[in-house]
Amino acid sequence: MADIIELLPDHVANQIAAGEVVQRPASVVKELLENSIDAGATYIKLVIKDAGKTLVQVIDDGMGMSVTDARLCFERHATSKIRSAEDLFGIHTKGFRGEALASIGAIAHVELQTKTDGKELGTTVIMEGSEVKSQEASVVPKGTAISVKHLFFNIPARRNFLKSDTVELRHVIDEFHRVALAHPNVAFSMWHNGTEMFSTPSSNFRQRIVNLFGFKMNEKLVPVNEATELVDIDGFVLKPEFSKKGKNDQYFFVNDRFIKSPYLHHAVKSAFEGLIKDGYQPGYFLKFKVDPKSIDINIHPTKTEIKFDDEHSLYALIRAAVKHSLGQYNVAPVLDFDRDSQLDTPYNYKDKPVTWPTVEVDRNFNPFQEETKYRSSGITNFRSKQKESWESLYVDLELEPKGDAESAVIGIEQDFKHSKIFGEDHTEVQIKTYQIFTKYVITALKSGMLIIDQNRAHQRILYEEYLKQLTTKASVSQQLLFPITLEFTRKEFSVLDTIKEDLAHAGLLYSSVSDSKIEVTGVPIGVPESEVLTIIEDLISDVTQEIPDTNFGTHDMVSKSLSKSLAIKTGQSLSALEQEDLVNRLFACKEPSLSPFNKPIFITMALGDIEKQFKL
């Protein structure tokens, strides 16, 4: 039998590795930024075109590379951070496996320019698909500049899986935020299609958060600081009133490396228990310093997942630290008595001697005299009201008032007298709908009974209405007398730009005031002004999580989000007319049995099943 096992060529192996390391332009951004951090850069510039599909360029002022290193950095498993297997248990750097540049060079056109300090000339290396096209000496500034062009040029199938420029740009911004937040001592800037999006100077952690997410973020932050033998916790959590439904402002950093950890997220969320509403998520920017030997970061190709030796203790410490900060800064309620500020001693009377109060009584005062009496004292003036006679005080008083319970009983009896529940004509007395638990609407059928969830029913009604408006582009908007100005982060602002046209067709009109502010001039009919901010934040959260790419997907997502935000909530009381209108509009929908989120809207109880319950 002939041998069938062969070694893969290097360019094929590199392309396979690229499938794990490089999934989209944001993956290239992450690897290149981390390499610049490891090179000791103090300023890093990120330049992208067409959301990174055409160009991803990272320029830094780090230590640079020699002629030999510039060539070896594109080889597989070539790294300057690992010398032995024991080094894997004490990693302090970002890139250490030597796969990033090799994988990127296998699927793109790469140009590397680098020069070390003290050298007159640098090196320029040009690669295309793992093949070195040229390497020559050149005049370049100190540091390294890597340009990645035409990503996935030799793998068309992978390129077709990329999303729209807006979606890919959002991922790039996410990676830029993660690296910039982890290293506030490094200055960063980001340019997209010739426009500067971010410019953050070297600063502390709080200033870096404000520079990236806007000045309004400063008032939302609550400091968290705790030092223990196991972990040092430093960072901020957002105040409970600024919690959102999405997971936008949630960042964990372990030894200056961004990670994702549902387990640690649950620890923070449990500290907010009772402070945020159900379905809302707390925001946080938390840094952890741990012993590198107590963690394993080599369990995922993107190195965003970490295994801790003692997760249970870390969970308890994080939960306690967040709870302590919320209580320390009077964000969480504490067990204390309310103090009346009127009982405090004024500053003017602080050093004055205490005098005993005196009581003055006018013994000649008669409240039943007809004339008006005045009495003057050292404190104030009193005046008795003029009455025709003392009997007038009792004119409108009933001798035997009826209590609330008695009135209620009489009212029920009167209702029974006027009702015809057991009358001769049974067709005249029909209760069409009835609301129970301020959550369900019950209506009768020929074959039984129908129980409708009012929230899901209204979601279905609004969903089909908004979807029709977005599809036919026929909107009805209520103009605001005083426009509302709202501020968002750059990332949230970019999301709004993608759905601006759809929101206009749904009746929500706004215009851009600056790079981070909008002015809302019109809202859908029936939407209160106080709910505009909540609706837009829910929209941004839903769109960010779903990340729709096609036009139909955007219409569908906007319609779902608006219907969820504006639907009748559980606990809202409905009148008989509102209940009947809800039922009629529901069964006029194309799909009345399911909500927009594929949940059942109503259940039926057959007459036979009801009768069985009354049989012995």
- The pLDDT-based confidence of 360 (bands split at 50, 70, 90) is confident
| pLDDT bracket for residue 574 (50, 70, 90) | confident
Residue 346 token pair? 């004024």
- Mean of the pLDDT values across residues 343-368? 74
The arithmetic mean of pLDDT across residues 383-395, rounded, is 50
pLDDT, tens digit (0-9, with 9 covering 90-100), for 464-483? 888 888 777 766 778 888 88
What is the per-residue pLDDT for 543? 75
**pLDDT value of residue 466:** 83
Q: How are strands ordered across the β-sheet holding 43-49?
A: 131-138, 122-128, 109-115, 143-149, 55-60, 43-49, 187-192, 195-200
pLDDT tens by residue, 12-22: 666 666 556 68
Strands 381-383 and 433-436: unpaired
Between CA 463 and CA 566 the distance in angstroms is: 10
pLDDT band of 180, cuts 50, 70, 90: very high
State the pLDDT at residue 42. 93
The answer to whether residue 235 scores a pLDDT higher than 60 is yes
**39 pLDDT above the threshold of 90:** no
Percent of the chain with pLDDT over 70: 77
Domains and CATH numbers, the chain: 10-84+91-200 (3.30.565.10), 206-328 (3.30.230.10), 429-616 (3.30.1370.100)
Q: At residue 311, what are phi and psi to the nearest 5 degrees? A: -70, -35
pLDDT in the model for residue 373: 45
pLDDT in tens, 410-436: 443 444 444 443 344 444 434 478 888
Is residue 375 pLDDT above 70, yes or no?
no
Q: How confident is the model at residue 383 (pLDDT cuts 50, 70, 90)?
A: very low
The residue type at 520: V
**Beta 221-227 vs 433-436: how paired, if at all?**
unpaired
The answer to whether 178 and 213 are in contact (CB under 8 A) is no
**DSSP labels for 45-111?**
EEEEEGGGTSEEEEEE-S----HHHHHHTTSTT--SS-SSGGGGGS--SS--SS-HHHHHHHSSEEE
Whether the full predicted model's pTM is greater than 0.85, yes or no, is no
